[in-house]
Amino acid sequence: MNTFYITTPIYYVNGEPHAGHAYTTIVSDVLARYHRIKGDQVFFLTGVDEHGANVHKVAENAGLAPQAYCDKMTPIFTELWERLNISHDIFLRTTSDMHKRGAKKFLTALYDSGDVYKAPYEGYYCRPCERFVPEKELTDEKICPIHKLPLEWIEEENYFFRLSKYQDRLLAHIHENPLFIYPESRRNELLSVLDSGLEDISISRSSVSWGISLPFDPEHIVYVWIEALMNYMTALGYETDNERYHTFWPANVHMMAKDITRFHALIWPAMLMAIDLPLPKQIVAHGWLTKDGEALSKTRGIVIDMDTDIETYGLDAFRYYLLREFSFGNDGDYRPTRLHERYNADLANDLGNLLNRVLGLLNKNFDGIPAPTTPGEFDDEVKEMAQTTVDKLDEHINAFAFDSALETIWEFVRRVNRYVQQTEVWTLAKPETKPRMGTILYNSLEALRFVSVLISPFIPDTAEKIQKQIGLAEFDTVADWGRLPVDLKVSKGEPIFPRVDLKKEKAPQPKASKPKQKSKETNLISFADFQKLDLRIGNIISAEPIEGADRLLKLQVDLGTEKRQVVAGIAEHYKPDVLIGKQVIVVVNLEPATIRNVESHGMILAASGDSVVLATPETEVPLGTQVK
RNA sequence: GCCGGUGUAGCUCAGUGGUAGAGCACACGACUCAUAAUCGUGCUGUCCGGAGUUCGACUCUCCGCACCGGCACCA
């Protein structure tokens, strides 16, 4: 028996899951389910990454201990996967004992390989960021570009992994295994990264506390990214070297979004090479989802409202749309109207209606599924197409072409609709033609059983509904023609995809999806804190662009008693000349900063969501008036 | 400013060095078993622009334009 081990990344719990996570996981789910119906022994891993400075910080902001924070966030992921009907075999948490023990074993092996060494690491360090600020981000003042606080010069000992040593072997492996990194665009990208040379990487942090300590030096915590990669092995039970681990490693597919391929396709294989373990077969990257053409961004309010669409059209319609509409590997634009069109055209009209008309005819004329006694025109054609559809589907799935896979299945669905049409089966109820009628209905229903098997990896609930309506007691996963039993009692046929009328649906769609209530308790500040702000009314007296910066404008603001130069990131929304003469609110006691070599003494307040709009007093007021 | 992607029918997108494709939408016809469903026929294209390579380019190369994304930058 073949085995098939597929993984999603373990998702970072410093934020809630969004449609992108859902896409990765659904796609992986399809592969897992597909291999199961082929009879492969499947292991499907997903989970969460709970360690690292970021989680620590977010937890702190929320007033929680890191573990308590993780315990709160993790269920949000598991609940979403349940709602999306994800069939993972394990959900791994990196705070679990299993993972920690496995990671330590892995780290020990890595250390024993001799490719881990200790070396001083020095540079300018920002405490709040918990990171060294790279050379290119440094300014003359040596302040953190994010926090604007003075940086510390730190020299600390860190552990490094000798990644550079594996450059040639990686290159050779990628060349010898053309499908190792998929799709090709990503492969080329990483080949060019390899061409430009690999540097050894730091794998530990001594300044971070929330994580797993190095077994060979407990003062140091393993860098969260390095630790996360090991999950693909620890989830199998690597630390106990058990049967599951030996059965499933190496993984067949590491599925992920395109932004994290470097870690998976270079660093991870190199680490495995170091400890002489087999490499995963394929690193597979899909594109990003966009919404109406724009990248998803929580801060800009560009989000995909999965809940609403799932509620309106059902989970399977949502899964179908994602899989059918997006060409794998490329970015795909999510549009609710397209989902609507797909739902009605493909699911309701083509498939749902086909099932319904066949069941209707059968119920009206027969008592149970008739035997196929009377072959005739078109029968063989349908039968053959059923088989070729199975073969084509396999090719498409192996190439991650889920859109083509579904298109192939739907070509067959349309063929069956045509079969019913061509044979005019509804005219054959007379006694002398009734055996032929029964045969055609048997074939049609058997075709639908085929379809239900083939779509089951994509839209599992629908597949089950179809088989249930056909009268099968247990889900049949075998795509061999003629398995449909005779005499089964079919159901009367409730539409599995009732048409959704767009006009009706518009009514209860007042776009008042409540703007997420930010966890209010956690972000409260005291009145004293607020009083620290010195806000004043100023008048913009000049505005000009700053060279080399798309978003910045240099403003001169008259505060009555003094004039200030302020840099504002509003160039994309305001032309300089329209600003002149405008009254604005200025934070005057903000510490000065140098941005793009221009000094800024203060900050202009503006509403910044999807667009940026300056906050101005409702009527003109004297310059320098305090705002509170 | 740097890096990358995209530009093909009204819409969403496939695609190939040799006379342009699918689905949806649209029009007309057939049918009436079925969820205003199904089936058939038809329709539209300077394949972003320019130059080059070639017997021949939508397909390869170069230059440009537009849009998108990432990074820089957002006090």
Chain A 360-399, CB < 7 Å to strand B: 360-361, 364
Choose the most confident range, by mean pLDDT, from A9-23, A225-239, A398-412, A488-502.
A225-239
Q: Contact A46/A25 with Cβ under 8 angstroms?
A: yes
Which nucleotides of chain B are near protein (any atom < 7 Å from a CB)? 1, 5-6, 12-14, 22-25, 31-40, 67-75
Closest to A62 measured CA to CA, from A11, A15, A28, A132? A15
C-alpha–C-alpha distance, residues A282 and A268, integer Å: 12
- A143 DSSP assignment: B
Taking the CA of residue A496 and the C1' sugar atom of nucleotide B24, their distance in angstroms comes to 21
Peptide bond into A250 cis (omega under 30): yes
What pLDDT was estimated at residue A101?
96
Cβ proximity of A444 and A416 under 8 Å: yes
Look at strands A253-257 and A553-558 and give their pairing.
Answer: unpaired
Is the CB of A262 less than 7 A from some atom of nucleic acid strand B? no
DSSP A296-336: -BTTTTB---HHHHHHHH-HHHHHHHHHHHSPTTS-EEE-H
What is the structure's pLDDT at A364? 93
CA A184 → C1' B53, Å?
Answer: 26
Strand B contacts (CB < 7 A) among A residues 325-354? Answer: 325, 327, 330-333, 335, 338, 341, 344-346, 348-354
pLDDT at A53 over 80: yes
Nucleotide nearest A417, from its CA to each C1': B38
Query: How far: A510 CA to B45 C1' (Å)?
Result: 39
- Protein-nucleic contacts, chain A 84-103 to strand B, CB < 7 Å: none
Q: For A268-295, how does the pLDDT look when each residue is reduced to its tens digit (9 = 90+)?
A: 999 999 999 999 999 888 887 777 666 6
123-182 of chain A touching strand B, CB 7 A cut-off = 137, 145-146, 148
Q: Is the separation of the CB atoms in A308 and A278 below 8 Å?
A: no
Q: Which of A105-114, A144-153, A287-296 has the highest mean pLDDT?
A: A105-114
Q: Please tell me the pTM assigned to this model.
A: 0.80
pLDDT at A611 over 70: no
Name the nearest CA neighbour of A263 among A10, A600, A609, A518: A10
Laid out side by side, the sheet with A131-132 consists of A131-132, A116-126, A152-161, A201-202
Of residues A197 and A51, the one with the higher pLDDT is A51
Q: Which residues in 435-474 of chain A line strand B, with CB less than 7 A from it?
A: none
How much is the pLDDT for A624?
Answer: 81
* Alpha-carbon span A547 to A511, nearest angstrom: 40
Q: Which nucleotide is nearest to A335 (CA to C1')?
A: B12
Give the pairing of strands A3-12 and A41-49. parallel
- Any bridge partners for residue A380, and if so which? none
Q: What residues contact A235, with CB distance under 8 A and at least 6 apart?
A: A7, A45, A47, A90, A92, A98, A99, A102
Which pLDDT band holds residue A241 (cuts at 50, 70, 90)? confident
Strand B contact at CB of residue A312, distance < 7 A = no
The question of ipTM being above 0.85 is answered as no
Contact indicator for A71, A34 with CB cutoff of 8 Å: no
